[in-house]
A and B are shown apart, each in its own frame.
Chain A
Amino acid sequence: MAKKEGCIICQIVGNQIPSKKVYEDDLVLAVLDVNGANPGHCFVIPKNHYPIIEQVPDLEIGKLFNVSNKISSAIFESLGVQGTNIFVANGIPAGQTVAHFTINVIPRKENDGINLQWQPRQLSEEEMSTVELKLKEQAKNIGHFEKEERKTAKIHPSKPAALSEEEEEYFTRQLRRVP
């Protein structure tokens, strides 16, 4: 397992920090958040250390979200809640506080003090078209997903290139600032 020294999540994975685990397999761990937004708030984490979602291999993405889904169902079944949220904050401007990719699974009840709503904005036709064009152009690079473990090293020309060092540096350096 690729761990990172000093990472609090890696220490939870490695049992150096005690936690209440609700699910564990070879790649994924789910623990209860002791300072959760609601009782039953879990975070689902890759055992390998990846700061942001872009770095998590597709195979692990699939497993992580499938586990999140099962935990969401278990929350519904066993905690008598009215809903669940799946919440990911990717990067400091998005609210990420720990540099280890985390999926929050949050039990919800009416008026529980959690706000995951936003003020709907009305953009002009031009603004919408501009952003549509830019995103669409970039999304053309999305192709093959690595759904199974790679047996041999293959090159998929259609797969978007990983973030270059510079780009990643630009994106993750945000995480260095204390929120």
Chain B
Amino acid sequence: MAEQNISPEQLKALQEKIKQMSPEELKEFQKKQCIFCQIISGKVQSRKIYEDDKVIALLDINPANPGHVLLLTKEHYSIMPQIPDDELAHVFMAAKSLSNSMLRSIDAQGTNIIVANGIAAGQRAQHFMAHLIPRKENDGVDFVLPQKVMDEKEIEAVGNKLIASLGEGEKADEKPQFKVPEKPKESKVSKQPKGEIDLDEISKLLGAK
């Protein structure tokens, strides 16, 4: 994720400065600083794979694998929570289609979709992006998600905190899309996806996590 080289000290100073700004000033400031906004406006060259009114997909110049795509919102958002629901939905519909494109055109055998929110999560650029990484067996890319053993009480406590926090979001007017639909509609997708595969066999082997 080497899109921008900012030292931790510079970032700290930046964060201090950012704290003093109004939201409008902040957005303008960030846009001016943002290399990806310059790419989107065409001031900086890039290899575009896909573009529509809301998103743009570019080849990463320092890819994890050939065909590694950065999927960006055209609007400047620093982190994912700032993105309106309809725009975010659009981003990941595009991600799905691009993943499909990777399977079809460059012999990918799988794909990873990664979003990093915050420096601790690996975010380097000040512009929201989803990384789409085509994968092959033994391609040298190795993501590590340790499996930590947590006790039930801890899980329960963490879960309750999250539920409480999500509930507040639900009540807040600015997040209306998150409400549970009043009339649950049955059988939205009643058909199995086309192209039947032997899911039983897959499940048997993969069933026990």
A residues with a Cβ closer than 8 A to B are 1-2, 4-8, 20-27, 32, 34-40, 42, 48-51, 53-67, 69-79, 81-99, 104, 106, 108-110, 112-123, 127-129, 131-132, 134-139, 141-142, 145, 147, 149, 160, 162-165, 167-169, 171-179
A-B contact pairs, 17 of them (CB 8 A): A21-B159, A37-B148, A61-B96, A62-B89, A70-B169, A79-B158, A88-B111, A90-B99, A99-B206, A106-B121, A110-B120, A115-B143, A142-B50, A142-B101, A168-B197, A176-B198, A176-B206
- What is the bound-complex CA distance between A138 and B97, given in angstroms? 10
Contacting residues, chain B, for A173 (C-beta < 8 A): 197
B residues with a Cβ closer than 8 A to A are 1-2, 47-50, 57, 59, 61-67, 69, 80-81, 83, 85-86, 88-106, 109-123, 130, 133, 135-137, 139-150, 154-156, 158-159, 161-166, 169, 175, 177-178, 180-181, 184-185, 187-209
B195 in contact with A168 (CB, 8 Å)? yes
A165 in contact with B195 (CB, 8 Å)? yes
> Which of A78, A90, A116 lies in contact with B110, CB distance below 8 A?
A90
B162 in contact with A55 (CB, 8 Å)? no
Q: Report B175 CB to chain A, min CB distance, Å.
A: 7
Contacting residues, chain B, for A65 (C-beta < 8 A): 88-89, 91-92
- What is the bound-complex CA distance between A91 and B135, given in angstroms? 9
B196 in contact with A165 (CB, 8 Å)? yes
- Most A CB atoms within 10 A — which of B144, B165, B187, B196? B165
> CB-nearest residue of chain A relative to B85?
A66
Contacting residues, chain A, for B63 (C-beta < 8 A): 120-121, 123
B195 in contact with A91 (CB, 8 Å)? no
Interface residue SS majority, chain B: mixed
- What is the bound-complex CA distance between A115 and B146, given in angstroms? 9
B201 in contact with A176 (CB, 8 Å)? yes
> CB-nearest residue of chain B relative to A64?
B92
A93 in contact with B135 (CB, 8 Å)? yes
Interface residue SS majority, chain A: mixed
- What is the bound-complex CA distance between A55 and B188, given in angstroms? 14
Given known contacts A32-B162, A66-B178, A132-B47, what 7 new A-B pairs fall within 8 Å (CB)? A23-B166, A36-B147, A82-B118, A106-B145, A118-B1, A120-B63, A171-B109
> Which of A26, A84, A147 lies in contact with B184, CB distance below 8 A?
A26
> Which of A35, A66, A108 lies in contact with B89, CB distance below 8 A?
A66
With A35-B148, A87-B143, A116-B114 as contacts: A69 and B184 at CB distance below 8 Å? no
B113 in contact with A88 (CB, 8 Å)? yes
- Most A CB atoms within 10 A — which of B141, B196, B198? B141
> CB-nearest residue of chain B relative to A122?
B62
B115 in contact with A85 (CB, 8 Å)? yes
> Which of A1, A104, A172 lies in contact with B197, CB distance below 8 A?
A172
> Which of B61, B80, B149, B158 lies in contact with A72, CB distance below 8 A?
B80
> Which of A32, A116, A131 lies in contact with B59, CB distance below 8 A?
A131
A132 in contact with B59 (CB, 8 Å)? yes
> Which of B101, B119, B147, B202 lies in contact with A175, CB distance below 8 A?
B202
